[in-house]
Each structure stands twice: as structure tokens, then as C-alpha cells.
A and B are shown apart, each in its own frame.
Chain A
């Protein structure tokens, strides 16, 4: 799949009108769309990532196993992934492997870049391309280019939710956005935190200042603080509410 805007049809007029909405209208519409699809819940998952070395980053008893497309060749390509127990391929939006991965039964999480000077209209073109893909996309994750602006990021989250009705999940990357902005994204259509879930809280000082890892309690606190019901996602798609 490619998301080259030049080759794509124009977005529907109704879709283009999203670009004219103010911040609060976008937030309300995006949250409403999320609630309509998934209910008022926010999720997190204890995941592990297959590394190019063949080792794993993340807990042994992870509920989800992922691989980043950048590491695909090193881990033996798509045919090796199912044997390794991989559930989810994390790939750029213009991934050449997306269709094949979907056909091989993997779930697809696409990173959607933003923040290189494009306007909302161009963004909507790119999102329309993802929504029109002939294979299933499980989720998208906004990926800022460089340090993101807060408001620009939140608008982009809302556009993703509203312009991608066929894509069920919108993930907020704690590493790229920081925990504050990632939490705010739940008010703009996000439904899952993307962060390493760890057993103990890391003090974010010194070299650890930007560690995106969260404990289950921290993840649940962020989601609950955003006004959603925190839930942990397990293997086979089961979801359990995290009690306070």
C-alpha cells in the first residue's frame, strides 16, 4: 500500500469539512465516534517485541507479541513470524509488506507520520488512502516527525478517528508524545496506550528521564483520569476492566 497523496482521490466533502472544525468540536466528534465503536473504554496491553537479535524485549508472559517492520528481514521475514508467535506487525503507513502481513493473518498497526508542514487537507488524503485499503488495518498510531506541537497532535488524533471509520483502534505512543499528551489524546479519539507495561515504576530522572514505561497502575490512572474505563487487553482479544 502507498499513501502518496498525488495518486489518491480527493476526500469526500464531508470529510474535508473536518478541517474547519475547532478543537472542541473535533474532540467531541472523535470521542463520540470512538465511544460508538468501542464504548467508553481505554486499553493497554502487556506486550513483548521480537528484536533483530532473535531475543525479546518485554515480559515473558506478555499477552501480545509484536515485531517492527524495520526488523523484519533480520528475524526471517514474514514466513517466520507466525512460527515465532507474533500477533502484530508494527509498520509505517506506506509499508510494502502490509498486504502480505494481513493476508498471513497478522494484525497490522500502522504508524502515520505527521508534522512535516502538511495541512489538514493533505492529512485527510493520506488517511483516506489507509481507510480505502483492501486489507484490514487493526490500528493506527500517529507518529510525529520531530518534537510535536500539542494542539497539532490532538487535532491529528481526532482526524484519524473520524477519517478512519474502518480502522478500529487509535493508539497513543507514550514514547513519542510523553504521558501527558498521550493521556490528552483519549479526549480526541484514542482508545489505547502504546507503552511498555512494567512491574515497577521507573523514576524518570537522569538518563531515565524519557523512559516511556508505565506500570499497570500508572496506565490505568492515565486512562481513568481521561474519563474512560481502564481495561487491560489480553491474548485472544479478551479485555478486563482494571479496578481502582
Chain B
């Protein structure tokens, strides 16, 4: 097993870490040492710069054929209690409302259940309609699990699905659905959706077509440290091959309202350790995102010193993790995100989905004094 000083030397020499190194980092007892090393890499890559964007989430349907045991969002049948499917007008109305409010969002993040009754046209029309309303909006839509499902259901190749969606307005793919790649875990928590190879193949094809994407890992349920490391190394291997991943997003498991609710979920120290290990192992993926919706705002801010350089965005109307017990707000105002980053001693940078700078420096200074009652209005857990 590698010692921490040996791993530190490799990191400082910009060498790639091994599986054994990753496991050793998970077992290293000194979180401060681990965090400081991850922070070195974070600052080497990005300095103090910390990214966020203005985005809108649309979860158009929660009807889903898959029965993932960690999921609190999905409903198996259209008529089940709390099952919903937006009409196209309802989905488009989410963007129209933001446009009417002069909210300068740059991205829409779209993730849905695997609905057995929707036609492929629903998805292409959804994208095309959003682009008609705001042609400049970036559509980051459909996880690899959804893309693979479309390919099977509609008898198309993955490439043909992506080509059709791209023609309708698709700009990039989100990173969801990866969960944990290890077959042992997948068999227990999500046996009836695409497996690791299929998930990776969708991203491989997308990258080959010039689409960028993100990648994720759902941690803190039944997986081992070795399985987390294996997961990250499989992502790193694909990134070596394609270079198409922009951001890795560790997703903290939420145990409420699902079949795994007897599990405790990850602790704060486990969150920080996972972020630090990810920053050190994934030396070829430029960004590491602290997704505040799942981590909680306090932990997400702390993660900015444990490897993370991105806080995601304003979000608005996230449903998937709130149905799993996330008690974070549904939206965070850019003023609050900027304050959160500045309070962490970092420099906020508003980005678009592809990490082009939208605003920084003086352009980001809030035009109204920050008021504590704004923060108090946020319902937050850590």
C-alpha cells in the first residue's frame, strides 16, 4: 500500500495515481493532510477561481420503467400517486417564465424518468421548442441512461439518437445515471437500467461527435472505497481516450423516501474525503463540482477547499433530490452564490455550460447590499 508521502510526491510531480493510491487515500486518517493536498491541485488548476452558472432544471416526467432502489423521484406507472408528465407547453412555460422575468439564465438541465409511453418526438419537440423561445440557451439534456433507453426503445443506434437530439437543439449531456459502476453494486441498486459499459459507451459516442458531457458518482450507500476508486478510474480511462468530460460531480446519497432509507447516508467528513480523493485521482478532468443541492450549502462551501472549484448554479425547481429528502432550497440567488464563494476566500466566476466566462470581477459585484434575512429565508441542512 502506498504511503501518503509517496502519493504526495507523485501528485506534486503531476504523476497519475494508481488504484492502490486511491484506496490508500480513502484510508488515510488525516483529513487535513488529504484536503491540503487536494487543494494544492485545485489551486494549481484554477487558482482561487470558483465557477457557477445561472440555470434552470426541468424534470419533465418522473414516470420511469427502472426501479432503482436509491431513487425517490421515479413512479413506475403514469397513474401512480405523485406521478407526473409535463405537457410540452408546461415544460416550455418554465423557460418562458424565466424570460419574462428577465432572468439571464444560460443553461437548461433536463433529466427525466424512463417513460414507456412517450414518443421520441416528445423529446425532440421539447428541445426544439425551448430553442425557439431562447435560441442562445444551452440545452444540457438526457443522461446516458436515457439516451441508451431511447436507442433500445426506438430501435436506433446511440449515434442516431444523439444526432436527432442534436438537430433538435441538444448541446451537451449531463453526467447522471453513472451511480457506481461495480456490477456487485449495480445488481443490488439499479439492475434494470444500462450497465457501466453501456453508460460509458454513450459518453464515448457523444464525445466522438464533439459533444461535451459531465460525469457523476453516487456515493454513500452500499459501495466500498475500492468500488469508488474503480468507478473514478473507469471515468479517467475514458477521459484519456476522448477528453470529453468537463466536470466530475460526486453525488451524496440521500436516504429518505426510497428503498434504502435504513442506510444513514454519507457523513460530512466522508463528503470532504470523497471530494479530495476525486480531485487527486481524476487529474485529467478539469473541474470538480460541489453540487449544493445534494451536499447542502455548508458542506458544498467547505468542499471548495477540498478540491472543488464549481458550485453548480442557481438551479430552480430541482425535484429529483428534494423527493429524496434534500432540504436545500429549490433556488439560490446569484448574489448568495457569490457571497458564499467570497466568504470561502475564493473568487467567483460566472460561467456558461462550457466554462466560457460570462462575468467576473467588477461585473459580478451585487448591485444591492447583501442582507442576512435573505440567507435566513433559505432552508438549509448539511
In chain A, positions 203-225 with a C-beta closer than 8 Å to chain B are 203-205, 209-210, 218, 221-222, 225
> Is the pair B345, A180 in contact by a Cβ cutoff of 8 Å?
no
> Is the pair A148, B298 in contact by a Cβ cutoff of 8 Å?
yes
A175–B267 alpha-carbon span in the complex (Å): 15
* A183 interface residue per 8 A CB criterion: yes
A184–B296 alpha-carbon span in the complex (Å): 14
> Which residues of chain B are within 8 angstroms of A182 by Cβ–Cβ distance?
268
Which of A45-53, A77-85, A118-126, A151-159 lines the interface with chain B?
A: A151-159
In chain B, positions 329-382 with a C-beta closer than 8 Å to chain A are 340, 343-345, 372, 375-376, 378, 380-382
- In the complex, residue of chain A having the shortest beta-carbon distance to the beta carbon of B252: A180
> Is the pair B343, A180 in contact by a Cβ cutoff of 8 Å?
no
* B285 interface residue per 8 A CB criterion: no
> Is the pair A180, B257 in contact by a Cβ cutoff of 8 Å?
no
> Which residues of chain B are within 8 angstroms of A225 by Cβ–Cβ distance?
267, 269-270
| Known contacts A150-B301, A179-B267, A184-B268; is-contact A203 B378 (Cβ 8 Å) | no
Contact among B270, B302, B325, B376 with A154 in the assembled complex (CB-CB below 8 Å): B302
> Is the pair B380, A27 in contact by a Cβ cutoff of 8 Å?
no
What's the count of A-B pairs with C-beta under 8 Å?
A: 102
> Is the pair A179, B268 in contact by a Cβ cutoff of 8 Å?
yes
Instruction: Fill in one digit per residue for A170-188: 1 if any B CB lies within 8 Å of its CB, else 0.
Output: 0000000111111110110
A178–B326 alpha-carbon span in the complex (Å): 13
* B237 interface residue per 8 A CB criterion: no
Which of B31-39, B143-151, B160-168, B177-185 lines the interface with chain A?
A: B31-39
> Is the pair A184, B272 in contact by a Cβ cutoff of 8 Å?
yes
* B312 interface residue per 8 A CB criterion: no
* B245 interface residue per 8 A CB criterion: no
Least distance between A38 CB and chain B CB atoms (Å): 18
> Is the pair B380, A150 in contact by a Cβ cutoff of 8 Å?
no
| Known contacts A24-B39, A151-B305; is-contact A178 B31 (Cβ 8 Å) | no
A23–B272 alpha-carbon span in the complex (Å): 14
* A227 interface residue per 8 A CB criterion: yes
- In the complex, residue of chain A having the shortest beta-carbon distance to the beta carbon of B326: A209
Instruction: Fill in one digit per residue for B28-64: 1 if any A CB lies within 8 Å of its CB, else 0.
Output: 0111100110010000000000000000000000000
In chain A, positions 53-110 with a C-beta closer than 8 Å to chain B are none
In chain B, positions 191-237 with a C-beta closer than 8 Å to chain A are none
A146–B305 alpha-carbon span in the complex (Å): 23
* B111 interface residue per 8 A CB criterion: no
A150–B271 alpha-carbon span in the complex (Å): 13
A226–B32 alpha-carbon span in the complex (Å): 11
| Known contacts A28-B32, A146-B376; is-contact A183 B267 (Cβ 8 Å) | yes
Instruction: Fill in one digit per residue for B284-307: 1 if any A CB lies within 8 Å of its CB, else 0.
Output: 000000000000111111101100
* B135 interface residue per 8 A CB criterion: no
> Is the pair A203, B261 in contact by a Cβ cutoff of 8 Å?
yes
> Is the pair B302, A147 in contact by a Cβ cutoff of 8 Å?
no
> Is the pair B296, A23 in contact by a Cβ cutoff of 8 Å?
no
> Which residues of chain B are within 8 angstroms of A205 by Cβ–Cβ distance?
256-257, 325
Instruction: Fill in one digit per residue for A121-149: 1 if any B CB lies within 8 Å of its CB, else 0.
Output: 00000000000000000000000011111
* B327 interface residue per 8 A CB criterion: yes
Contact among A178, A210, A221 with B298 in the assembled complex (CB-CB below 8 Å): A178
| Known contacts A183-B269, A204-B256; is-contact A152 B325 (Cβ 8 Å) | no
> Is the pair A24, B36 in contact by a Cβ cutoff of 8 Å?
yes
> Is the pair B298, A180 in contact by a Cβ cutoff of 8 Å?
yes
> Which residues of chain A are within 8 angstroms of B261 by Cβ–Cβ distance?
203
A152–B343 alpha-carbon span in the complex (Å): 7
> Is the pair A218, B264 in contact by a Cβ cutoff of 8 Å?
yes
- In the complex, residue of chain B having the shortest beta-carbon distance to the beta carbon of A178: B382
Least distance between A20 CB and chain B CB atoms (Å): 12
A225–B26 alpha-carbon span in the complex (Å): 12
> Which residues of chain B are within 8 angstroms of A187 by Cβ–Cβ distance?
31-32, 269
> Is the pair A150, B382 in contact by a Cβ cutoff of 8 Å?
yes
Chain A interface residues toward B at CB < 8 A: 23-24, 27-28, 31, 145-154, 177-184, 186-187, 203-205, 209-210, 218, 221-222, 225-227
